[in-house]
Amino acid sequence: MRPLLILLALLGLALPAFAQQPPVAPARPALIVLGYHDVRDDVRTGVDRDPDALSTDHLIAHFDWLKANHYNVVSLEDVVQFMQRGKPLPPDAVLLTFDDGLESFYTRVYPLLRAYDYPAVQALVGSWMDMPDGQHMPYNGAECDRSCFLTWSQVEEMHRSGLVEFASHSWQMHQGMNANPQGNLLPTAAALAYDTTKQRYETVDDYKARIRADLSHSADEIEKHIGVRPRAVAWPYGAYTQVGRDVARDIGMTVTFSLGDKLPTLVPGKTIPRILVSDNITANRLGWLMRHSSRIDPARAVQVDLDYVYDADPAQQDRNLSKLLDRIKRLHPSEVWLQAYSDPDGDGVADAVYFPNRHLPVRADLFSRVSWQLRTRAGVRVYAWMPVLAFRFPDGKTLPSLAGEPKKGGDHFRLAPYDRAVRARIGDVYEDLAMHADEAGVLFSDDAYLRDTDNLGPWAKNTPAQNTQALIDFTLELATRMKRWRPQLLTARNIFTRPIMEPKAEAWFAQSLPAFNKAYDMTAVMAMPQLDKQADTLGWYRRLVATVGATPGALEKTLFEFAAQDWRTKQPIPAPTIGTRMRAVQAGGARHIGYYPDDFVNDHPALEAIRPYISAADYPYAEPAR
Which pLDDT tens digit goes with each residue over 102-142? 999 999 999 999 999 999 999 999 999 999 988 999 988 88
User: How many other CB atoms sit within 10 Å of the CB of residue 209?
Assistant: 13
pLDDT for res 263: 80
- Please give the Cα distance from 109 to 116 (Å, whole number): 11
pLDDT tens for 492-540 read: 999 999 999 998 999 999 999 999 999 999 999 999 988 777 888 999 9
Q: How far, in whole angstroms, is CA 56 from its chain's centroid?
A: 31
DSSP code, position 553: T
pLDDT for res 623: 62
DSSP code, position 300: E
pLDDT range class, residue 26, cuts 50, 70, 90: very low
* Residues with Cβ within 8 Å of residue 280, at least 6 apart in sequence: 43, 44, 45, 46, 48, 53, 54, 55, 58
pLDDT tens for 302-359 read: 999 999 999 999 999 999 999 999 999 999 999 999 999 999 888 889 999 999 999 9
Question: Shortest CA distance to 267 belongs to which of 86, 120, 93?
Answer: 86
pLDDT for res 292: 84
- Please give the Cα distance from 245 to 235 (Å, whole number): 9
In contact, 95 and 118? CB cutoff 8 Å: no
For the chain, residues classed under CATH 3.20.20.370 are: 32-172+229-291
pLDDT for res 24: 38
pLDDT for res 3: 37
Q: How far, in whole angstroms, is CA 462 from its chain's centroid?
A: 34
- Please give the Cα distance from 365 to 599 (Å, whole number): 22
pLDDT for res 409: 66
- Please give the Cα distance from 556 to 535 (Å, whole number): 27
Pick the CATH number of 32-172+229-291 from 3.30.420.40, 3.90.1010.10, 1.10.357.10, 3.20.20.370: 3.20.20.370
pLDDT tens for 28-71 read: 568 999 999 999 999 987 778 889 999 999 999 999 999 999 99
Name residue 242's beta-bridge partners.
none
In the predicted model, what is the mean pLDDT of residues 553-576? 93
pLDDT range class, residue 5, cuts 50, 70, 90: very low
pLDDT above 70 coverage of the chain, percent: 94
In contact, 251 and 212? CB cutoff 8 Å: yes
Position with higher pLDDT, 7 vs 307: 307
- Please give the Cα distance from 226 to 351 (Å, whole number): 56
- Please give the Cα distance from 614 to 381 (Å, whole number): 15
The whole-model pTM stands at 0.91
The reply to whether CATH 3.20.20.80 applies to domain 300-614 is yes
For the chain, residues classed under CATH 3.20.20.80 are: 300-614
- According to DSSP, the β-strands at 565-566 and 185-187 are unpaired
In the predicted model, what is the mean pLDDT of residues 178-192? 92
Q: How many CA atoms lie within 13 A of 513 on its CB side?
A: 29
- Please give the Cα distance from 170 to 174 (Å, whole number): 7
pLDDT tens for 152-165 read: 999 999 999 999 99
pLDDT for res 12: 35
Q: How many CA atoms lie within 13 A of 306 on its CB side?
A: 28
User: How many other CB atoms sit within 10 Å of the CB of residue 265?
Assistant: 13
Give the DSSP H or E segment for 226.
helix 204-226
pLDDT for res 28: 56
Name residue 121's amino acid. Answer: V
pLDDT range class, residue 373, cuts 50, 70, 90: very high
pLDDT for res 22: 40
- Please give the Cα distance from 299 to 297 (Å, whole number): 6
